[in-house]
Structure 1
């Protein structure tokens, strides 16, 4: 056997001897990669589910202290996640609604430098958001209703709804949350009156 043949045979035997170890290393690397990808997917799913569980918890907590169509003031410092990041510059109130008895009209004659409102279904999903730029002027006056109820309102518009913003939602029950901003101490009495005069009523 010539030297080149002897060398080739030696390299071939070496490659064959090493191939099981190389295969084990490849399998281990593949398993580690799958584990990392799986852990990443689980982490993302958990992050997506945490807000939903927190928001559903907010619905349960509000139901324990508030009846339907009742404006309930909320301490922003102790607010649950659905109600937003705690900020003492904001005052908040919430109202549980059930549209099976009719549309819900939310309004106040009070004024605030800025207000926003969010409507959630009973599962904690945000169905709609609006603020003081959504309607005519900066008055809070909106009606939450189902698409079927909207058809009836178009046919016969109640006088109380003539200045209202209409919010159609694909759910019959849920929570609406209103936030108002008080930029300094001088605004706090006005914002307090904004909520004190707020109504949430089935029409």
Structure 2
């Protein structure tokens, strides 16, 4: 019985030490989240390229993918994300300012597989529906509660012959705030 009590006490002490170590390490790890790294690398609506380089704000270690990201604030208006060109496959993910993925889509839901997406809040969507003069073409509308966050576009590179076309696609990505009435 004494051995059992001794083992329990040692287990509790070890758990306490591990708990304290995690608490002390937490501040070091929280400043390295995706939102913080992108915030340090670029301003709002500025597109940055992401790849496997060590100095990239967000590394994409998969050699078959490249990416681009931009921060946004829907307080400035709608976010219009678009790019030129056609590539085999792309995905767009919306993250909040806690780096949590809130929405994802890919080229299969877009007309003509082109990247032309508008991100807006429910209130902005209602205003847009009530404005008959608003003409945003064939854009894909994504309604979200995320007011501040970032968009991550990843593109598939099937082989090295596609790399220039994929890089051109990612370099042509524009994230623009569109003011609403």
Q: 1:118-161 CA deviation, whole Å, 9 max, x = no partner? A: 1111221112111112333311121111121122123236322x
1:132 corresponding residue in structure 2: 107
Rounded to whole Å, the distance in 1 between the matches of 2:41 and 2:51 is 13
Given candidates 158, 161, 165, the residue that maps to 2:140 is 165
2:175 corresponding residue in structure 1: 200
TM-score, with length taken from structure 1: 0.70
2:9 corresponding residue in structure 1: 31
Instruction: Give the number of aligned pairs.
Output: 175
Larger radius of gyration: 1
- Report whether the alignment pairs 1:60 with 2:36: yes
Give the structure with the larger helix fraction: 1
- Report whether the alignment pairs 1:76 with 2:52: yes
Distance 1:126 1:51, change over 3 A: farther
Question: Per-residue deviation at 1:164?
Answer: 2.1
Rounded to whole Å, the distance in 2 between the matches of 1:93 and 1:182 is 14
Distance 1:184 1:147, change over 3 A: same
Q: Is the 8 A contact 1:68 1:95 kept in 2?
A: yes
SS in 2 for 1:170: coil
Compute the RMSD of aligned alpha carbons.
3.1
Question: Per-residue deviation at 1:194?
Answer: 0.9
TM-score, with length taken from structure 2: 0.78
Rounded to whole Å, the distance in 2 between the matches of 1:179 and 1:90 is 6
- Report whether the alignment pairs 1:145 with 2:103: no
- Report whether the alignment pairs 1:97 with 2:72: yes
- Mark the runs of 5 or more structure 1 residues left unpaired by the alignment: 1-21
Deviates more, 1:99-108 or 1:128-137: 128-137
SS in 2 for 1:166: strand
- Mark the runs of 5 or more structure 2 residues left unpaired by the alignment: none
1:191 corresponding residue in structure 2: 166
